[in-house]
Amino acid sequence: MFSAQSRLRHAVADTFAMVVYCSVVNMLIEVFLSGMSFEQSLSSRLVAIPVNILIAWPYGLYRDWVIRYARRLSPSKGMKNLADVLAYVTFQSPVYVVILLSVGADWQQIAAAVSSNIVVSMMMGAVYGYFLDYCRRLFRVSQYA
């Protein structure tokens, strides 16, 4: 049940990584780049926790699929980094819009937050991939299931 291929262990590792990463990075983006108040950002992050719990494992599976596909094109580390960025941006941006709408952000704030998140994700998507891989190692989960 709790082997390195265990679905529960995989889901817990992916969930832990997403909640921690998204809470820290998105709060910084919302407050310092998007002009949201600290209270709006805190509300957004609190709403995001259950959302992140729900989407973490599906995102991890999606990311693994994108990386497996990218590795067929090229086994280079650069291709893995590109795949991490692509997976993060294409999966997280629509979810982020819904979260911001639910906490009352206006369309101008949403556009600023999501576009900032996309730009930051282009730099940080690979960092999240490394963080997720690190968390999976901590939880002893095999890679790219």
If we measure between CA atoms, which residue out of 60, 55, 48 comes closest to residue 22? 48
What is the tens place of the pLDDT at every residue in 56-114? 999 999 999 999 999 999 999 899 999 999 998 999 888 889 888 888 889 999 999 88
Residue with tokens 């996309």: 118
Residue 144 reports pLDDT greater than 80: no
Separation CA 43–CA 52 (nearest Å): 14
Would you state the pLDDT for residue 69?
Answer: 94
If we measure between CA atoms, which residue out of 108, 119, 95, 90 comes closest to residue 29? 119
Mean pLDDT, residues 122-143: 88
**CA 47 to chain CA centroid, nearest Å:** 15
% of the chain beyond a pLDDT of 90: 49
Cβ pair 29, 117 in contact under 8 A:
yes
When mean pLDDT is compared across 17-21, 96-100, 133-137, the lowest value belongs to 96-100
pTM > 0.85: yes or no: no
